[in-house]
Structure 1
Amino acid sequence: MRLRLPEERPAEPPTGYKIARPVLSQDGTRAGFTGVSLGGTLPYGVLADASCAYGLRHRAPHRRCDCGFHCVHERAVAEGLLCTTEHRGAVLLHVTVLGAYIRFERGFRYARQRVRTATVGPCACGATAVALADAGWGRPGWRGLGAACAGCVRGRTSLSLAAFARLAGEGLRVVAGEGRPADAFGVPELVAEAALLQARLDWFQTQLARLGQGREGGATAQG
């Protein structure tokens, strides 16, 4: 006799937590995330359907496969994953579990999800992040992003937290640490945007000054 898993029909879609890495498309028109383990080569948007990472044609999640999106029930468990060396650059996602799912003791494996909130940790220097900047890694057609403060952005490709949220769409909220959602665009967010622009301007002015000094030195030597 074939055993069947018990079916659940919740009044509201369940929610959970996971970690992921933010990414930006090569042409700068799309923003999304990529997983940190299975399926890490497949970037996904805020609202996305899972597919089998092994290329099999069955629907995810399949009982005899480990495909599908994954999340845990408790925020603290997901935050604990951010302590590991290989996951320090990831962000914390609060997601809504949609479609078919399989419940486990610590979380879900499921077919569809909506990312509700992305919480960005501090910059590598320890300061509060105001942007997501080129992290020096990527996937074909996608640049990996990491948390950055205004002073550490410099000339790297970057998006403010609010700009990343707008580009990702679907009502995504982006939060810096324990701060307020960046897409609220109140005074703190405008100050953060201004600081980011000022940091870029300072970097460009420094580069222009160096170029000017180089040209003056060359002219003196020729004279």
Structure 2
Amino acid sequence: MKLRLPEERPTEPPTGYKIARPVLSYDGTRAGFTGVSLGAALPYAVLDEARCVYGRRHRAPHRRCDCGFHCVHDRERAEAMLCAAEHRSAVLLDVTVLGVYLRFEHGFRYARQRVRTAAVGPCRCGAAAAALADSGRGRAGWRVLEAVCGACARARPGPGAAVSLAAFARLAGEGLRVRAGGGPAVPSPAPELPGPAGLPELVAEAALLQARLDLLQSRLARLGRPDPGAQG
């Protein structure tokens, strides 16, 4: 007798969470994501269908293969993955599970997905992210991006120039929402420039100059007095 797992027919598509790295095409016209482990070889769009990373012709997810999209049930479990050093630059995705899926203890392996939101972590300097910039890594045709604040984004000219969170969402399409997960952006404080001096400031400076002048005159007077103990 061959045992079969019970089939689920939910009224609404299940949801889950996963971490991924944002990517931008070499010509800057498309945006998407790539996995952090096995799925790093195949960038995917916001609305996409899984393919076998081993090049096999079966449809994902196959029971005898580990292909397909992966996600976990709990947001906290996905956030815990971001603590690993190699995953610090990844983003947290909120996804909708579509098509055929296999349920596991902590998540799903499934055929299709829609990325609803992407939470971007803080910049390396600790400030909240304002853009996504070239991280220096990638694969043929795609650049892997990382979160940067406004100040760090301005320091990256040329090919490593940053793309704003809104621009990334627009390039990705399909109603993707991208937000900074590190809290509200903290603008860099502008240097305080001295303003024009008012009357109280001028009076204080004049009094200081007069006091210094009086001190100088008293020292000169003491130098000019004859010493009573000196012999002629």
Q: Tell me what 2:73 maps to.
A: 73
Q: Give CA-to-partner distance per residue, 1:113-149, whole Å, 9 cap, x none.
A: 0000000000000000000001110110001100000
Q: Distance in 1 between matches of 2:183 and 2:10?
A: 31
Runs of 4+ deviating beyond 6 Å: none
Give 2:178's match in structure 1, choosing from 170, 174, 178.
174
Q: Distance in 1 between matches of 2:102 and 2:182?
A: 31
**Structure 2 letter corresponding to 1:114:** R
Q: SS state of the match for residue 41, structure 2? A: coil
Q: SS state of the match for residue 16, structure 1? A: strand
Q: SS state of the match for residue 77, structure 1? A: helix
Q: Distance in 1 between matches of 2:148 and 2:9?
A: 42
> Percent identity between the aligned chains?
74
Bigger radius of gyration among the two: 2
**Structure 1 letter corresponding to 2:102:** I
**Structure 2 letter corresponding to 1:44:** Y
What is the correspondence of 1:9-88 to structure 2 with a 5 Å cutoff? 9-88=9-88
**Structure 2 letter corresponding to 1:40:** A
Q: Distance in 1 between matches of 2:88 and 2:183?
A: 19
Query: CA contact under 8 A between 2:128 and 2:182: conserved in structure 1?
Result: no
Q: Distance in 1 between matches of 2:3 and 2:68?
A: 21
Q: Give CA-to-partner distance per residue, 1:198-223, whole Å, 9 cap, x none.
A: xxxxxxxxxxxxxxxxxxxxxxxxxx
Q: Give CA-to-partner distance per residue, 1:22-67, whole Å, 9 cap, x none.
A: 0000010000000001121100000000011111111100111110
Shift of 1:178: 5.7
Q: Distance in 2 between matches of 1:59 and 1:45?
A: 18
Q: Distance in 1 between matches of 2:27 and 2:183?
A: 30
Shift of 1:157: 2.2
Q: SS state of the match for residue 167, structure 1? A: helix
Q: SS state of the match for residue 166, structure 2? A: helix
Q: Distance in 1 between matches of 2:6 and 2:52?
A: 23
Say if 2:183 is the partner of 1:164. Answer: no
Structure 1: segments with no counterpart, 5+ residues: 181-187, 196-223
Aligned-residue CA RMSD (Å): 1.6
Query: CA contact under 8 A between 2:129 and 2:182: conserved in structure 1?
Result: no
Q: Distance in 2 between matches of 1:17 and 1:179?
A: 20
Q: Tell me what 2:197 maps to.
A: none
- Structure 1 length-normalised TM: 0.80
Q: SS state of the match for residue 93, structure 1? A: strand
Q: Distance in 1 between matches of 2:183 and 2:116?
A: 16
